[in-house]
Structure 1
Amino acid sequence: MSRGKKLDLFIGANIDNGWAKVQTPKIIILSKEILEPSKHFLYFAKEKRRGKTVTIVGEFLLSKNDKTTTLKMLKKKLGCGGAVKENFMEFQGELKDKLRPLLLGTDFKFKNGH
């Protein structure tokens, strides 16, 4: 095999027998509507990433500047790292019990049970 050619492997799947390739990529629809904090209904989610716990809160329908200032304030009060991804805020660690009163203090609301 020369260095300029790519390796072509055939594993055995035959696409011609009723199978079809996915033509459209996954499209994420983000809401462009901006709401005030009292009209938000947030919820918590917990994920494991590389063995560490990440607390996810959302969905925040704020302007970009408001999201970054809210995230910065929360990270400073909690003493942890975090980021905004697709209108959700992610915080390093399991912080649901500490995060909830801080968000309630800034007029955000939560769905029932969260």
Structure 2
Amino acid sequence: MSRGTKLSLDLGSSWGEGWSIEEEKTSKVLTLLDPSAHRLVFQKEKRKGKVVTLVGPFSVSEDDGQKTLSTLKKSLACGGAYKEGWMEFQGEIAPKVREALEKLGFKFKNPK
């Protein structure tokens, strides 16, 4: 666009009473599972130069996930978060997390 010309923002629609915005609503249906019905996997990521261990996907309610995470953080003495069905732990502690979750009844996809 050359200097001195104005941008036209006419789109051909009117802003009268008939105008409405339809929002697309998507709802995720979460199937709650027993701990023994889970098949969890591990992933490793680097964030800001530090290793983060991810465990999931969990099919539990948000409250149950937070409670489980809290007990794991206390027993493992590390920080972490519960986001979108995945637990994030600070550090490379997959064997310790696996052992603690197996004591709670969770199962994993990959054998030891």
TM-score bracket, normalised by the shorter chain, equals 0.7 to 0.9
Task: Tell me the TM-score normalized by structure 2.
Answer: 0.73
**Which structure has the bigger radius of gyration?**
2
Give every structure 1 segment of 4 or more consecutive aligned residues whose post-TM-superposition deviation is greater than 2 Å. 28-31
The reply to whether residue 75 of structure 1 matches residue 76 of structure 2 is no
SS in 2 for 1:67: helix
- 1:62 counterpart residue number: 60
- Asked whether the 8 Å contact 1:31–1:61 carries over to 2, the reply is no
For 1:51 and 1:31, how far apart are their aligned partners in 2?
A: 35
> How many angstroms apart in 1 are the aligned matches of 2:54 and 2:101?
13
Q: CA RMSD in A?
A: 1.7
Corresponding position of 1:12:
none
Q: Report the Cα distance in structure 1 between the residues aligned to 2:40 and 2:34, rounded to whole angstroms.
A: 13
1:35-93 superposed Cα distances (whole Å, 9 cap, x missing partner): 01000000000000000000000001001111010000000001111001110000000
**Ranges in structure 1 where 5+ consecutive residues have no aligned partner:** 1-27
| Equivalent pairs, count | 87
Distance 1:76 1:93, change over 3 A: same
Describe the SS at the equivalent of 1:109.
Answer: coil
In the alignment, which residue of structure 2 is the partner of 1:34? 32
Structure 2 counterpart of 1:48, one-letter code: K
SS in 2 for 1:75: helix
Flag the 1:106–1:85 CA change in 2: closer, same or farther, 3 A: same
TM-score, normalising length from structure 1?
0.71
Q: Distance in 2 between matches of 1:94 and 1:31?
A: 32
Structure 2 partner of 1:43: 41
Provide the rounded CA distance (Å) in 2 between the counterparts of 1:59 and 1:31: 14
SS at match of 1:41: coil
Partner of 1:108: helix, strand, or coil?
coil
Aligned AA (1:57): V
